[in-house]
Amino acid sequence: MTRPIDGAALLDDVEAFHRRFNVFPTEAAYVAVALWDAHAHLLDCFDSTPRLAFLSPEPGSGKSRALEIVETLVPRPMVAVNASAAALFRSVSGPDGRPTILFDEIDTIFGPKAGDNEELRGFINAGHRRKGVTYRCVGDSQTVTPFPSFAGVAVAGLGSLPDTILTRSVIIRMRRRARNEHVEPFRAGLHEPEGNALRDRLAQWAEAARGFVMGAWPEMPEGVTDRPADVWEPLLAVADVVGGDWPERARQACVTLVKASQANDKGSIGIRLLTDLRDHVLIGVDRLPTVAILDRLNALDDAPWADLGGRPLDNRRLSKMLGEYMTADNEPIASRNIRTSGGVLKGFYADDLTDAWARYCPPPPRP
């Protein structure tokens, strides 16, 4: 009789394997990546799968190495460098089983010089949910045919990702190793078999754990809701099943990485505008003329307003951007007359913005 596999001890081993070759920025990152490796073996148990994103501002930060280690641990890895959307959806729906797709140098696909990759972006977006499909025209008659897109996806690249992918990802912000940080050199011929042995143990454990994971609704940490909850639900379900200290560590990691992603996420340019108006412009006043608002916005350090496509934010664009949001009375935010000592000027009232601030902006900074 085969002895049951201790899931907590197995995840300890997976984490230790990563620690031999990867320097992640936080303890939370090791926990999250080990859970993601395990969840890839249980994809059929979940309604959604988070993307795993290793991102950094500069080369030489260990992103590709992290992806290489993940490759040894997940089922049916498919390294997709410059792969087309057509190749990917045919692989996902192919007879050999669903692959785990690994994108290195994702910035060449979604970066500023990458050109139009909407079809590939659409595939990655659709594939995070079980019901996600990609539609293609097939055959001489060009019949519209749905192809499944649901697959685990891990990426590595410079810079950032489109918001639609970033918000569906567990984000690991990689950085170059410091002089006092050391890792074991990774030799594929020597170390891949070790990773593959762990992969086989994960697959064996997953078969036994499938019934416990299916339909699980893990308790979320306080404050983790909506899309972050969707991202972390499969990982917390895995942690709860393996037991040991993993349920507690997983929730600590969840809170840490969700807060980090929110701190790094400036949101859309519209949300950035609303937030800057609240935190830096309309402070201590209930109204302000447009000319004064523009002066204050364009003078802000580390803000985009002084250079939007080579020109500073102007009255017309400010009105257009704010007009996309609504007041508490469900009317578009618009400039109104403000009486000043010099006459009547157009400007904006804080009361018109309070509802949009509450709905879209992150919490204000503490004094």
Confidence of residue 114 (pLDDT cuts 50, 70, 90): low
Per residue in 216-269, pLDDT (tens digit) is 899 999 989 888 999 999 999 999 999 999 999 999 999 999 988 876 655 678
Mean of pLDDT values over 51-57 = 93
Query: In this structure, are 256 and 278 located in the same domain?
Result: no
Domain with 329 in it:
269-360
Q: Indicate the burial class of 353 (C-beta count within 10 angstroms; 0-12, 13-18, 19 or more).
A: buried
Domain endpoint, select from 229, 264, 299 = 264
* Domain assignment of residue 61, yes or no: yes
> Which pLDDT does position 121 carry in this prediction?
75
Lowest mean pLDDT among 11-15, 26-30, 31-35, 106-110: 106-110
Query: In this structure, are 231 and 323 located in the same domain?
Result: no
pTM (two decimals): 0.78
Q: DSSP E strands: which ranges in the chain?
A: 51-56, 77-79, 100-103, 133-138, 143-148, 153-158, 169-173, 287-289, 336-340, 343-349
> Which pLDDT does position 310 carry in this prediction?
85
* Domain assignment of residue 19, yes or no: yes
> Which pLDDT does position 97 carry in this prediction?
75
Query: In this structure, are 301 and 196 located in the same domain?
Result: no
Mean of pLDDT values over 92-121 = 74
Confidence of residue 148 (pLDDT cuts 50, 70, 90): confident
Per residue in 167-210, pLDDT (tens digit) is 899 999 999 888 899 999 999 999 999 999 999 999 999 999 99
* Listed residue (258, 239, 257, 231) closest to 48, CA to CA: 231
Number of H helices, E strands in the chain: 14, 10
Domain endpoint, select from 242, 264, 286 = 264
Assess whether pLDDT exceeds 60 at residue 112: no
Tell me the H-state helices in 214-325.
Answer: 226-242, 246-264, 269-276, 290-298, 315-322
> Which pLDDT does position 125 carry in this prediction?
77
Domain endpoint, select from 230, 264, 298 = 264
* Domain assignment of residue 21, yes or no: yes
Query: In this structure, are 338 and 235 located in the same domain?
Result: no
Query: In this structure, are 227 and 277 located in the same domain?
Result: no
User: In 3-state terms, the chain is what percent helix, strand and coil (to 5)?
Assistant: 45, 15, 35
Query: In this structure, are 139 and 229 located in the same domain?
Result: yes
Query: In this structure, are 77 and 135 located in the same domain?
Result: yes
> Which pLDDT does position 266 carry in this prediction?
52
Q: How many domains does the chain have?
A: 2
> Which pLDDT does position 267 carry in this prediction?
60
CATH number at residue 16: 3.40.50.300
